[in-house]
């Protein structure tokens, strides 16, 4: 189905199933522990052996020699694979560094071997007996030390943001110099880890020259492509199966070392092999969100109109990698005729930097939204009013390009009303609750809506139920449920009459889970397939498809009626393909984030007391799971603001706090009740369901709102995240 004209009235608009807060249909499997995750697939291949990956003990250099004698002689060892006996390997363009290193080492904990044994404990013990002689080389591990040599690079997150290395609109230098009110500040965000619940894990089995992997992966088709390129075999010889994924947040967009090393180990051992990365390996072997240094300059008239906006960012990655696209939202979110956007990339020999929930906007808005508050204070304006004054209905760098739908002002106004913003004291450090200094903060949220092809196969079973098959994944987001809701709505059956099967590369290629593009596109693909199935059913029953009504498990045309079971065996496969509407209109999602914090006046300890997000993201397919997505993102935003920091050992080039004891993330005690409100809107430009993504919007701006609330509570402005008590304690106002 080609979507090249705005959506009009269609079967989705019945809203009998779509738009209703619906329990997850996979909930019973999750709560009973029977949902099949990758490492637990004992049913799919018999006689599974265990693999344990040996990672490099240096961050940069070369392997002189490998001694495997002791490891091979250890109890239970079946096989050991290194680059020396792995056979010829390629490297996918998706991978910045090789998934199997040797003899050259590109980063710390890069995989250099896999030990395969009868038990996990035997494999782990033998892995520790592998002896490596290294020649260590000097490495670049300090972003600050590399900033001056970092060249401008074109920024493209692959998630709706792209621009040349230095993008200018109007005359920023002249406008900034002439502005009567100016802000010039530098903000820093640290390296962060995805810290998802399920580790990277894979079971690999070969049948002749065909490889099947039961793995934890967000993008099935990408995984097939990248493994085929790495193993140098045809794509048709690779099958990936990922029906359930225990979190990814971007770290599982691409297959990682667990998948390749399991495949190599299984080929060498001639039996299935299972591999799971330990938490420390996840932190250093896979990917992370890169640290940033962001320079923001704002110029405004005395009445608060922005006239000059510059956002420049520095981040680092391995050679051949890409930048963290922190200025991405600044091109679009606020009005202002004169702009400078620049992204610079330093070469660092740290583990690969790559996508983490809302790459670009999440760290970028941690800086921009604090800068907006600082500017509002200079102007003597309310921060909400300042943002609303500088709203825009067009792309500021392409004024001829309008937004398909934009109600950021509505998010901010409703949020301010519901949160009680009028009670906020604009003078910092004035609100107290016993020993607690209390403050409120606000930030706008912005994330682009991304349209991409997505396909599905649907059929009618012998009882008149609908079966949906697509390689779409569910990373805990509720894909099973919204896909079932879509099929039920279009085919006119109850939700319990729809069976959804996901995450298998033998199914039609879907959008996959990532970048906030999964829900709207995968359901659009299912919609397209169901509309084609309706035509097939009508033809089989001899009905006119143009006036056939599908409701209650029946098909009616004129005075004739039949059950869907009468059309059992009918099937269709189709997908959504987008025309030029995405080029004609700017498609984005918006939020207003409001946070109240308490800061202990004696210790500087921060506690988040209240949170509210008001979101505008088109039609919400399932308000219940959408709320879950947003509160999860809000929680990650609190973590980014207050605690998350992957600390670099700048001598040896690795993340020191590489487990969940040292890398702190929010727990239940850290998070108060979170309220989420969705504006009632539909966006006919976005797709046939008139829906847009929402899963990453919830993190965009939260860190800035927390920082602004801390400032309002204490009068202490911290521009270096995370905002820990050591950055507050000696600057807090005196207690009476």
Residue 535 is a catalytic residue: no
CA distance 95 to 713: 44
Q: What is the CA radius of gyration of the chain?
A: 27
Say whether 3 sits in a helix, a strand or coil: strand
Q: Are 701 and 632 in contact (CB under 8 A)?
A: no
Say whether 160 sits in a helix, a strand or coil: coil
CA distance 480 to 484: 6
CA distance 243 to 504: 7
Sheet of 454-460: strand order equals 2-3, 571-578, 454-460, 466-470, 498-502
Query: Which residues are CB-neighbours of 662 under 8 A, at least 6 positions away?
Result: 656
Helices and strands, number each (H, E), in the chain: 16, 34
Q: Which residues pair with 187 in a beta bridge?
A: 294
CA distance 593 to 250: 23
C-alpha dihedral sign at 176, 178, 182, 186: positive
SS3 labels along 32-100 = CCCCCCHHHCCCCCCCCEEEEEEECCCCCEEEEEEECHHHHCCCCEEEEEECCCCCCCCCCCCCCCCCC
Using the CB atoms, write b or e for 428-462: b if 16+ within 10 Å: bbebeeeebbbbbbbbbbbbbbbbbebbbbbbbee
Query: Which residues are CB-neighbours of 373 under 8 A, at least 6 positions away?
Result: 383, 441, 442, 443, 704, 708, 711
Kindly give the pairing relationship between strand 210-215 and strand 238-241: parallel
SS3 labels along 499-545 = EEEECECCCCCCCCCCCCCHHHHHHHHHHHHHHHHHHHHHHHHCCCC
Among 106, 352, 596, 696, which one carries the catalytic annotation? 696
C-alpha dist (Å) from residue 456 to 212, 392, 500, 644, 695 = 21, 37, 10, 38, 22
Other CB atoms within 10 Å distance of the CB of residue 278: 16
Q: Are 39 and 258 in contact (CB under 8 A)?
A: no
Extract the runs of DSSP E, i.e. beta strands, from 301-435.
306-317, 338-347, 394-395, 398-402, 431-433
CA distance 663 to 289: 14
Q: Are 114 and 275 in contact (CB under 8 A)?
A: yes
Query: Which residues are CB-neighbours of 189 under 8 A, at least 6 positions away?
Result: 291, 292, 294, 326, 363, 366, 367, 640, 703, 721
Distance from the first to the final alpha carbon of the chain: 69
Say whether 672 sits in a helix, a strand or coil: coil
Which residues have a catalytic role annotated?
696
């Amino acid at each position: 189905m080609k979507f090249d004209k705005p959506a009009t009235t269609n079967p989705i608009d019945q809203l009998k199933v779509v738009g209703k807060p619906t329990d997850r249909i996979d909930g019973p499997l999750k709560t009973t522990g029977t949902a099949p995750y990758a490492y637990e697939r004992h049913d799919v291949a018999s006689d599974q052996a265990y693999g344990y990956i040996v990672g490099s003990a240096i961050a940069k250099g070369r392997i002189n020699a490998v001694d495997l004698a002791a490891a091979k002689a250890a109890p239970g060892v079946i096989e050991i694979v290194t680059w020396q006996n792995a056979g010829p390997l390629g490297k996918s363009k998706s991978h910045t560094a090789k998934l199997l290193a040797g003899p050259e080492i590109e980063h710390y904990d890069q995989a250099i071997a896999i030990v395969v044994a009868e038990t996990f404990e035997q494999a782990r013990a033998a892995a520790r007996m592998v002896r490596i002689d290294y020649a260590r080389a000097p490495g670049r591990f300090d972003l600050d030390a590399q900033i001056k040599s970092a060249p401008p690079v074109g920024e493209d997150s692959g998630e709706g943001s792209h621009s040349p290395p230095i993008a200018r609109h109007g005359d920023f230098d002249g406008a900034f110099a002439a502005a009567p009110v100016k802000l010039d500040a530098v903000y820093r965000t640290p390296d962060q880890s995805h810290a998802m619940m399920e580790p990277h894990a894979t079971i690999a089995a070969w049948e002749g020259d065909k490889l099947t992997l039961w793995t934890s992966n967000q993008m099935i088709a990408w995984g097939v492509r990248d493994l085929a390129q790495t193993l140098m075999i045809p794509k048709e010889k690779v099958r990936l199966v990922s029906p359930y994924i225990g979190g990814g947040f971007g770290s599982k967009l691409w297959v990682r070392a667990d998948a390749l090393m399991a495949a190599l180990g299984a080929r060498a051992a001639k039996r299935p092999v299972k591999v799971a990365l330990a938490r420390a390996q996840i932190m250093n072997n896979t990917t992370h969100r890169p640290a940033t240094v962001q320079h923001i300059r704002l110029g405004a008239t005395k009445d608060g109109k922005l006239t000059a906006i510059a956002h420049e960012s520095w981040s680092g990655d391995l050679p051949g990698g890409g930048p963290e696209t922190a200025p991405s939202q600044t091109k679009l979110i606020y009005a202002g005729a004169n702009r400078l956007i620049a992204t610079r990339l330093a070469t660092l020999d740290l583990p690969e930097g790559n996508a983490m929930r809302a790459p670009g906007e999440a760290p970028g808005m941690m800086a921009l939204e604090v800068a907006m508050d600082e500017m509002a204070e200079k102007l003597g304006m309310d921060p909400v009013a300042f943002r609303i004054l500088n709203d825009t209905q067009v792309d500021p760098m392409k004024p001829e390009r309008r937004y398909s739908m934009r109600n950021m002002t509505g998010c901010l106004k409703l949020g301010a009303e519901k949160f009680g913003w009028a009670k906020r004291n604009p003078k910092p450090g004035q609100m107290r609750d016993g020993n607690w200094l209390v403050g409120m903060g606000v930030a706008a949220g912005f994330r682009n809506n991304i349209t991409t092809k997505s396909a599905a196969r649907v059929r009618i079973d012998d009882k008149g139920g609908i079966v949906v098959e697509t390689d779409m994944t569910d990373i805990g987001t509720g894909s099973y449920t919204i896909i079932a809701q879509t099929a039920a709505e279009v085919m006119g059956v109850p939700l319990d009459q729809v069976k959804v099967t996901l995450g298998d590369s033998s199914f039609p290629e879907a959008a996959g889970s990532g970048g906030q593009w999964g829900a709207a596109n995968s359901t659009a693909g299912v919609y397209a397939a169901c509309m084609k199935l309706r035509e097939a059913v009508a033809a089989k029953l001899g009905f006119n498809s143009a006036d056939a009504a599908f409701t209650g498990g029946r098909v009616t045309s004129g005075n004739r009626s039949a059950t869907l079971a009468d059309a059992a065996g009918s099937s269709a496969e189709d997908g959504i393909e987008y025309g030029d509407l995405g080029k004609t209109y700017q498609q984005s999602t918006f939020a207003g984030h409001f946070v109240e914090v308490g800061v202990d006046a004696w210790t500087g300890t921060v506690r988040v007391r209240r949170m509210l997000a008001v979101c505008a993201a088109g039609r919400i397919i399932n308000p219940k799971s959408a709320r879950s997505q947003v509160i999860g993102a809000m929680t990650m935003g609190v973590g980014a603001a207050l605690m998350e920091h992957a600390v670099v050992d700048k001598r040896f080039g690795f993340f020191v706090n590489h487990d969940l004891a040292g890398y702190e993330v929010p727990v239940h005690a850290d998070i108060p009740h979170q309220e989420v409100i969705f504006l009632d809107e539909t966006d006919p430009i976005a797709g046939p369901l008139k829906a847009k993504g929402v899963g990453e919007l919830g993190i965009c701006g939260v860190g800035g709102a927390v920082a602004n609330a801390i400032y309002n509570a204490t009068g202490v402005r911290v521009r270096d995240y995370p905002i820990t008590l050591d950055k507050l304690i000696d600057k807090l106002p005196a207690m009476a």
